Amino acid sequence: MGRGARPPRPRRPGRGVGEEAVRVAQAGRVDDVLAELRQRGAGLPECERVAAHVAERRDRMRHDDYLRRGLPIGSGRVEAACKTVVGRRMKCTGMRWTVAGANPVLWLRCARLGGWFDDYWNDRLAA
């Protein structure tokens, strides 16, 4: 090995199955993912934790249905929406907000961006 070169790190058990697990889950086979996690990850605390997480939420992991309906299954769109809705309005130079002051402004911003601004005001006026 040359100067400054490092030997390859040993591969940990269970490593490299993530991409396959995502592909299988997206095909609607969450039970297969769960079985694989339990089999390969037996005795590994992190794998057991992930298996418990998947088992508790199995009924919500209908990725095949979500994808077929054109719904997003990742967090990227949610994070981008938070940046757009919250960040651009609440984080301008010199602005300081309390929770009590920020919440109504965010409600209005979400109503406008979501296309239900008129519904929001009609409900408020009716109350």
Average pLDDT along the chain: 82
Instruction: Report the range out of 16-20, 72-76, 120-124 with the highest average pLDDT.
Output: 120-124
Q: What share of the chain is helix, strand, coil (3-state, %, to 5)?
A: 65, 0, 35
Q: Does the global pTM surpass 0.75? A: no
pLDDT attached to residue 98: 92
Based on the number of CB atoms within 10 Å of its own CB, is 16 exposed (0-12), middle (13-18) or buried (19 or more)?
exposed
Higher pLDDT among residues 5 and 92, named by residue? 92
Residues 6+ apart with CB under 8 A from 27: 63, 64
Residues 6+ apart with CB under 8 A from 30: 54, 58, 61, 63
Inform me whether the pLDDT recorded for 8 exceeds 60. no
Nearest to 38 by CA among 52, 21, 23, 24: 52
pLDDT-derived band at 9, boundaries 50, 70, 90? low
- One DSSP character per residue, 22-34 reads HHHHHTT-HHHHH
> Tokens in use for 3?
């100067």
Higher pLDDT among residues 13 and 106, named by residue? 106
Task: Give the residue extent of every domain in the chain.
Answer: 18-68, 76-126
Inform me whether the pLDDT recorded for 3 exceeds 80. no
Inform me whether the pLDDT recorded for 10 exceeds 80. no
* pLDDT tens figures, 29-81: 889 888 988 888 888 888 889 889 989 998 988 888 988 998 888 778 888 88
